[in-house]
Structure 1
C-alpha cells in the first residue's frame, strides 16, 4: 500500500494535523477516527486526504476539553446541533481567544534567543504540565542514578518525556509548534525541576535545546539550564511493546473516577462487565469492550496516574488481573501510564 494509491500513512496524517501517531491510534480505538484501511499483515493504518480535516478538528475540540461522545455528535450531527453543543463551551473559548491574542503578540516580538541549532519550540504551560505529570514515576533514590531523571526525546513534530522507577512508567508526548535541526535525546535530573516548572508557568512560548552542559530553556528573553544524567536510559519502548494483548478496554470520564479515588479506602476493587464500571460498590458510567474482569488496586499507585491524565476522558487497557494496566489519554499530545494491580485481599 503506497501513498500513490490515494491513502496516506499515520505519520503523514500526524504531521499534517498536529496530532501524534499515538493520539491517532487512541482516537481509532475510541471509534472517533478509524483509518480508511488497516493492512492485515503489518497492522499499518492508512487514511484518506479527507480525514486530515477531521483529525485537525478533533485536535482543536480536544484542546478545549470537549468530551469524546460530544465530539462525535459535533462531527456527525447537523450544523444546528453542532452550534448548540459548541455554545456550551463559549466561556472557555473566550478565554482561549484572549490567551491566543496574548501569544500572538508575544510571537511578534523578538525572542532574543540568538542562534540555536537543534531546537524545539512549544507551549511553556504544556511543558510544565508534562514535567509534573511524568516526574511522579521517576525514582526518589539515587541507587540507579538515571532512574532519578526524565528522558526527553525530540523527533518529528513532538517532544516526548518519559520516567520510570522500574515499578511505574509514565510517558507524555507534547506536539511542538516549531522544530529545527536534528533529533536529540537527553536525561534531565528531576531534582532540578521545581524552580523550572514555576518559571515555565509564567511564560507562553519556550525553546528547548540540548547543549554540552545540559538542557537549555529559553523564553521571554531569559533562560534556564537543567543538569543532565549522562547514562543510558532504559528502553521503555521494549516494555510497552511486550505488554500482553488487551482483553478488556474501558473508556470512562476521568473526574468522577478521580473524585472517588480521593475519598476511598487504601485499596479499591474494580468490577468491569457489560454493564459498565463499578469501583468499590460505586457505579461509574463507562463503555466496556471485551471480557468481564475484577481488579484490585492500591489507591496510592492508581490515584497519581488518574490525577495526571489528560483531558476529560480516560482509557484503560487491561490484559489480566496480574498484569499492569495501561492508562491512556490524549489532549495536546498524549499520556500513557502503567499501573500494576495488587493481589486480591484474602478472604477471612
Structure 2
C-alpha cells in the first residue's frame, strides 16, 4: 500500500538519510520530522521522497552538535536566521575547542610533557611594538599564504620577527627576559593579530610558547592563541646576505620625510647628492637636510611600499643604505638597529 501511495518506509528513509530508525522515531516524537502517514493499525511510519533531504540535513546538523531547537529554526525556512544560528554555533565550537586546547596544554605542563618547556618571556609592550612594525611588510592578499605571516624564531636570548611580501622585508629582534627549552620557530598568521596587539599593550610581561595548535601567549592570568601558517617561510637570511655593497648612505630626520610621503603621489622620486635628499611627488619638490656619504643617486618608489617602512621605523633619524636604483634599499634607525626593513625601488636611473 505504501509503495502505491508513493510513500517509503522508515527503514528505507533510514538507509537513504544515514539516520537510524530509532533516531527517526525520536525526531517524530519531538516534532522535527513528522511522518507523512502513520498506519492506525500497525503504527508503521511512512515518509515522502521529499522528506529524505530534510532527514539528511538533520543528520548533518546533529553531526556538528547543533541543538534540536536551533535545528527546528534552521529548517523553518528563514535563511537569514539560519545563517546567524550556524555562525553563532560554529563560533561557540571554536571557543570550546580553544578552551580545551589551553586546558590540555596546562595539564601537559603539569605532567612535564609536551612542548610547554619551550618558552620565551618578553616585555609585552615590546612584543606588541615588534608585531606592529614587522607586519607592515607582510602581504595583504592570500595569493601566497605564507607571505601573510610573520616568522617568529626563538634562539639564544631573543625572539626574532620577520615578514616579507617580496617588495618589502622587515625583521626585528626583541631581547627576552627569560628563555627555557630548545630553539623553535613558527609563522604567525597576521589576519588575527590586531586584537592580540591591543591586548599585549595592556600587559607587563608575556610568555610565548609553541604548541601543536600554534602560538600560545600568556600574561597576567589571561591567554591568547595565535593561528599559524604551516608552510616553509622564505629564506630571508639569504636575501640579507646577498645584498650588494652600499653605494650611498643617507641619514635624515624621519618625521619630515614621513610627512612628505603621507601627502605624496603613488610614485615618489628620491634625488640624493651632497646637499641632501630631494623628494618629488604630487608635482612638488621638497628638499630635506641629510648627511650623505657616497655617490649621488636617483631612484623612485611605489608609495605603498615605502610609506609603511618609514612609518614603522624606530627613532627620530632614519638611515637609508642604497646600493643601486634597481636594488632593495635598507632602512634602519640611525640610533637603534633592532628593526631592519628592505624596500624595493620601482625606477631605474638612465645615467
How big is the shift at 1:267? Answer: 2.2
What pairs up with 1:63-102 in 2 under 5 angstroms? none
- Contact 1:174–1:332 (8 Å) recurs in 2: no
How big is the shift at 1:344? Answer: 5.8
Aligned to 1:176: 176
How big is the shift at 1:166? Answer: 2.0
Q: Which has the bigger relative contact order, CA under 8 A and spacing at least 6? A: 1
Aligned to 1:132: 132
Measure, in 2, the Cα distance between the counterparts of 1:283 and 1:300. Answer: 21
Aligned to 2:240: 240
- Contact 2:158–2:173 (8 Å) recurs in 1: yes
- Contact 2:119–2:210 (8 Å) recurs in 1: yes
Measure, in 1, the Cα distance between the counterparts of 2:118 and 2:182. Answer: 6
How big is the shift at 1:333? Answer: 6.3
Change in Cα spacing, 1:330 to 1:117, as seen in structure 2 (3 Å) is farther
Structure 2: segments with no counterpart, 5+ residues? 1-105, 111-115
Measure, in 2, the Cα distance between the counterparts of 1:141 and 1:230. Answer: 17
| 1:325 and 2:345 aligned | no
- Contact 1:174–1:333 (8 Å) recurs in 2: no
Measure, in 2, the Cα distance between the counterparts of 1:302 and 1:213. Answer: 35
- Contact 1:152–1:159 (8 Å) recurs in 2: yes
TM-score by length of 1: 0.63
Measure, in 2, the Cα distance between the counterparts of 1:154 and 1:330. Answer: 26
| 1:215 and 2:219 aligned | no
- Contact 2:136–2:312 (8 Å) recurs in 1: no
- Contact 1:173–1:335 (8 Å) recurs in 2: yes
Aligned to 1:296: 300
Measure, in 2, the Cα distance between the counterparts of 1:259 and 1:176. Answer: 34
Count of equivalent residues: 235
Change in Cα spacing, 1:162 to 1:259, as seen in structure 2 (3 Å) is same
| 1:265 and 2:260 aligned | no
Aligned to 2:286: 282
**SS of equivalent residue, structure 1 residue 134:** helix
1:4-37 CA distance string (max 9 Å, x none)? xxxxxxxxxxxxxxxxxxxxxxxxxxxxxxxxxx
- Contact 1:209–1:215 (8 Å) recurs in 2: yes
Aligned to 2:50: none
Change in Cα spacing, 1:345 to 1:243, as seen in structure 2 (3 Å) is closer
**SS of equivalent residue, structure 1 residue 174:** strand
Across the aligned residues of Structure 1 and Structure 2, the Cα RMSD in angstroms comes to 2.2
How big is the shift at 1:151? Answer: 0.5
| 1:314 and 2:314 aligned | no
Aligned to 1:23: none
